[in-house]
Amino acid sequence: MNGAPESLWQWAVPALIVFGAAALLASASIWALRRARRSPRARAAAEAERTAAGSALVRLDDAVAELDIEVGLSGALYDGTAPTALRRARMTAQHARDEAFAEFRQLDADTHPDEVTRVSRRIRARTDAATAAIAHARTEHADWMDANVTATAQVRAAQERWASLRDQIGDPQALLDELAARFDASEWTDAARAATDAHAGLAEAERLLRDAAERAADPTRSALAALTRAERTIRRTQTAARTLEENHRVVLDAADAVAGQVEAARGALRQAATVRSGLEPADAERLGAQMREIEAALTAEERHALRRPTATVVAVARLRDRLDLALGDARTAQQRLRGARTALPGTLAAARNAIAHAAPAVARSGADARVRLATAEQELARARGADDPVAALDAARRALRDAEDASALADYDRLTRG
């Protein structure tokens, strides 16, 4: 009777040892595999894939920017009779770029290396396909141009665009003189740089167009290279002109609004004092210390408000943000709503100014800066379209932070390239 249990144990014990060892080995293998996938080498490989995807995304973003202008010129100059492939390619490329921006934005330090690699490769495949479609469409458009528009006509059209741009820009110095008479130099540095770029661009484009016209008149020579360089210069000059106008408008708008923003901030402090009166002593003391610091900082900023309005508007928006954090959940819903309504205009202006400041530098930077600026623009649009002032204020603050991050990333790119 005892033989059966003994034989069972003689069979079971070795089996348990074997299966137990196998389970331990499997667990160890899985642990080792997971560790390897998160090792520094795996992360470095994933970062290389992410960098390659970012480079492809930058190329696509540049191609879309050029295609936007080319599509506009095609419709304006040739009555919309140019090949529709340009428009189709633009829509496809914009959609691919926006989706790639959204995916690239999610790849942060906490993302698993395997996921970084997978998403980065998908981004590269999508952006490379869109870039190739743009190249094909532009080739088709160039063939159409060769068949339907002479070099002389192309040069004449470019000269007309140059003349229109010259008239549009007018005298940039007049705008700068207006800013210099009223504001600190730090307020119009970007505008001065854009004015210099616009003036130089007009002169360079005029020289290139003269060269292209001479070549177009000679059947033995090609005007294509000079015309292409002139077209690119005109586009850069248009961008500089828009930057000048935007910076000029931002500074004047800030000058008109800064006094109201300072007063609204003081009103928010008075409202905070009312909230403070209902708090427990320890909480009231902490809030009071924050309020005193905020009021002192506001007074310091107010001294320079007339000479540095955009900087003051940004500083006041940050102080309002700090006050909201100090108040926390102590306010009623009605008080939060009233505070958001008064803080929103200044925060929107600060975000708009930060985006305008970041845009020129980001245009020459890598994918991280471009994605962050695109996020800032989306948040600003969300803030402007929101019906709830509290949600709009939150979105405007995110736009401000993203725009400043984009500027910092662009500066880092410039320094590392240098």
pLDDT, tens digit, for every residue of 66-115?
A: 777 666 555 544 555 556 777 788 888 888 888 888 888 888 777 888 88
Backbone φ and ψ of 43, nearest 5°: -65, -35
pLDDT category at 51 given cuts 50, 70, 90 is confident
pLDDT category at 418 given cuts 50, 70, 90 is low
Going by C-alpha positions, the residue among 108, 112, 104 that lies closest to residue 53 is 104
pLDDT category at 29 given cuts 50, 70, 90 is low
> Which one of 5-19, 25-39, 191-205 scores highest in mean pLDDT?
191-205
Specify burial of residue 280 (Cβ count, 10 A radius: 0-12, 13-18, 19+). exposed
- Between 192 and 153, residue with greater pLDDT: 192
- Averaged pLDDT, 276-282: 88
CA dist 352 → 244, 278, 296, 297, 401 (Å)? 14, 37, 26, 23, 11
Other Cβ atoms less than 10 A from the Cβ of 304: the count is 14
Least confident of 79-88, 213-222, 295-304: 79-88
Least confident of 165-179, 203-217, 326-340: 326-340
- Between 128 and 219, residue with greater pLDDT: 128
Please write the tens of the pLDDT for every residue from 1-28: 455 555 555 555 565 665 666 656 655 5
pLDDT reported for residue 134: 85
Q: Which SS3 state, helix, strand or coil, does residue 278 take?
A: coil
pLDDT category at 210 given cuts 50, 70, 90 is very high
Whole-prediction pTM:
0.77
Integer Cα distance of 67 and 94 in angstroms: 10
Integer Cα distance of 383 and 391 in angstroms: 7
pLDDT reported for residue 142: 72
What is the crossing angle of helices 333-362 and 367-385, to 10°? Answer: 140
Ranges of each domain in the chain? 42-148, 151-245, 247-417
